Amino acid sequence: MLNKLCQLRSKIVYPLRRIINSDIQKNDLVVDLGCGGLPNPRANVAVDFIDDDLERADKLKIDRPFVWASIDKLPFKEKAFDYSILSHVLEHLENPKEALDEIQRIAKAGYIETPNAFYEYTISHTYHISRVTVMDGVLNISFKPKWDDTYPYPDVAKDAVRLFHHITKLDVNTLLTRYKWKDKIDYQINGIPFIKDDSLMSTDVDPRSAIKKFLIKLIYAYHKLWLKPVNLKDILVCPKCHGELIFEEQQCECKECKSVYEQYKGHFDFRVIGL
């Protein structure tokens, strides 16, 4: 009986972490970086880089002001946002330093969530290239030594996986790294990223149940009623030089470096790789 109550509690508390955040005030302007198929219902603006849905439980959802952008080169003014959300993105990044520095530039505070190191070491997703945990208040990012980092002993791996699934049923939040910051992100990066092998990309993402999908729709409908609107043009800048943008109907141009950014699928595309 107690075990079932713990499982029920976990099912209720786990999704609520995405909705209840006492650090976000009513009038705060919030950005979800790497929004995916389930952007945070409190976010006023959504950002994503990936166009396909290979690693997602749901298709990319664009239901609010949205831009295509690289997290390490964001097209927003300094401190444009009161709060930023980076959920299950950091463990994918080859350049976390540049991304975290950019997030601090465009936001005053924020929340970062990833699978924790135990999760990553036990159930190692092949599309995650680092393990992330918090040590002495510092966000610790350790690149895996290879694409699929697993236990060296098969018997230990089997027992660890069994323990992992047991913990998931009791309290899945204990398998997450959750880090809140204000003004500054304290982080440390260990190792170097390995060379990705796209042939090993994982597609083992479990689909959501019909009940979960229905509850998600209700939550989004509620937040949509009072979510503060935002005019993207007021906060956008060139991701390369942070210069002012001149907007036209289907594209925009930087006044400083003359870079031109066109629209892709109806939204401005600021995705920049290198300079």
Does residue 2 have a pLDDT over 70? no
Provide mean pLDDT across the span 152-178: 82
Strand ranges in 10-160 using DSSP code E only, listed in sequence order: 30-33, 45-48, 66-69, 83-87, 109-115, 130-135, 138-143
**Between 200 and 237, residue with greater pLDDT:** 237
pLDDT of 95 higher than 70: yes
CA distances from 24 to 17, 42, 80, 203 (A): 13, 9, 15, 34
Give the distance from CA 180 to its chain's centroid.
Answer: 14
Q: For the chain, which domains are there?
A: 2-213 (3.40.50)
Closest of 249, 246, 236 to residue 65, by C-alpha: 236
Q: How confident is the model at residue 224 (pLDDT cuts 50, 70, 90)?
A: confident
Give the span between the Cα atoms of 150 and 143, in whole angstroms.
13
Q: What residue ranges in 43-198 does DSSP mark as E strands?
A: 45-48, 66-69, 83-87, 109-115, 130-135, 138-143, 176-182, 187-190
Side chain identity at residue 242, one-letter code: H
Helix (H, G, I), strand (E, B) or coil at 84: strand
The 10s digit of each residue's pLDDT in 47-60 is 999 887 776 667 88
> Looking at residues 252-270, what average pLDDT do you find?
96
Please check whether residue 85 is in contact with residue 61, taking contact to mean a CB–CB distance below 8 angstroms.
no
* Residue-wise pLDDT tens digits, 184-223: 999 999 998 877 666 555 555 566 667 666 767 777 777 7
Residue 148 has pLDDT above 80, yes or no: no
What is the sign of the dihedral through the CA atoms of 133, 139, 145 and 146?
positive
Predicted confidence (pLDDT) per residue in 113-142, tens digit? 999 988 888 887 777 889 999 999 999 999
Place of tokens 């699929």: 148
Judged against a pLDDT cut of 70, whether residue 274 lies above it is answered with no
- Say whether pTM exceeds 0.85: yes
d(CA 270, CA 22): 31
